[in-house]
Structure 1
Amino acid sequence: MSCADDSAGTLDCWYFQSLLALPGYVQASRALMIASIVLGTFGLIATLVGMQCSKIGGENYILKGRIAALGGVFFILQGLCTMTAVSWYAFNITQDFFDPLYPGTKFEIGEGLYIGWCSATLALIGGCCLLCACGTGNKQEKRPYPYQTPTRGTAYTTSVMSQEQPNHYGRNSYV
């Protein structure tokens, strides 16, 4: 709806005749927000599948980490789409508002834009945290999960213990 009031205090509102008759930046902002919703949904699904505590996707924790990192990429793309749409819309609103020769209805920045900026910031931070936490170059991924200490007295124990931990004590040092 578009509303206007006159000097007598009468408020007149009318519906837009067509969604396609709206300005181009409004249509582009709507398209970016729809893309943001779709990317956020894909990011949520990928993150839920990539969590180590979920049973979806099996026991391959390296693959699960990569899927969670893909969810982080989706969240970053969602934040960028939201930030672009909200900032572009706010720029056009302020440009029309401060233009003294603009003949149309002048809008002001409302609560929806602030919510959009906050959600875009949170999506960007969350996506970056997922990417940092789900790195593929982690040395602990090479160990079998869950890691168990080998038992005493086997050849595997002495070879593993000599490679991983320096042994500065003799056999009778603990007595």
Structure 2
Amino acid sequence: MSTAVEATGFIMCLLSWLLTGAALANDYWKISTVSGSVIISQRQFENLWHSCAENSAGIAECRDFESLLSLPGHVQACRALMIVSLLLGLASMVVSLLGLKCIKIGAAGDASKAKMAVTGGVLSILAGVCCLTAVSWYANMVVQDFYNPLYMGVKFEMGVGLYLGWGAACLSVLGGGLLSTACKRASPAVQKGVYKAPPTSETARAYV
């Protein structure tokens, strides 16, 4: 049963890593709202890397953000968090793959493999937290600007990229939790069901 649980956790971590990459590359982190507009001739959308405008014919033109230092602080932080999430997710998959019970690589014992699986699970949870922080922070800024009556710029709504990020974060945390159940087989004594009682005074006298 533990083998199936760990394998399921690894698959969830793999899917979460792919979804995190898809969320980071997605153009629609925020999209201009149609609330209060009767005729929409142009639609704007942005992600962490560029801003785009699409006309009624479906032709989009994008412009990359030219200066990193001129970007808002939350965009810079979200970039860093998403990249860290991808790196942690990659490390998690490599480490947990070597620690899976069903994978035999080298002469590593079951206890050491279990510790590697748990380490991979912890890394996956950290990757999920980084991704969750990034998309939630970005979404919070979108919502604040939308409801701010003093904001005079274009108002945006949350896009598909944010929902992909939330899904990736949930899968990463759940997969890491399943991998962390390998701690049950981290101790050989617990695994074999062997329990050695401490010597009593009569047993100690018998050896004298």
TM-score with structure 1 setting the length: 0.71
SS class of match (1:108): strand
Structure exhibiting the larger radius of gyration computed from Cα positions: 1
Question: In structure 2, what residue type is equivalent to 1:68?
Answer: A
Divergent runs of 4+, >4 A: 1-10
- Superposed displacement of residue 142, structure 1: 6.8
- Partner of residue 140, structure 1: 191
Residue pair 2:86, 2:127 contacting (<8 A) in 1 also: yes
SS class of match (1:70): helix
- 128-137 or 32-41, which moves further after superposition? 128-137
Partners in 2 of 1:87 and 1:80 — Cα distance?
10
- Partner of residue 117, structure 2: 68
- Superposed displacement of residue 93, structure 1: 0.5
5+ long unaligned stretches in structure 2: 1-26, 45-52, 54-61, 195-208
The structure 1 residue matched to 2:165, chosen from 97, 116, 126, is 116
Identical-pair percentage: 45
- Superposed displacement of residue 132, structure 1: 1.7
Q: Which has a greater percent of strand?
A: 2
- Partner of residue 104, structure 2: 55
- Partner of residue 69, structure 2: 20
Distance 1:103 1:129, change over 3 A: same
Partners in 1 of 2:31 and 2:139 — Cα distance?
19
Residue pair 1:72, 1:131 contacting (<8 A) in 2 also: yes
5+ long unaligned stretches in structure 1: 144-175
Deviations 1:107-126 (A, max 9, x none): 21011111111110111111
- Partner of residue 88, structure 2: 39
Distance 1:68 1:93, change over 3 A: same
Greater relative contact order structure (CA < 8 Å, 6+ sep): 2
- Superposed displacement of residue 100, structure 1: 1.3
Residue pair 1:57, 1:64 contacting (<8 A) in 2 also: no
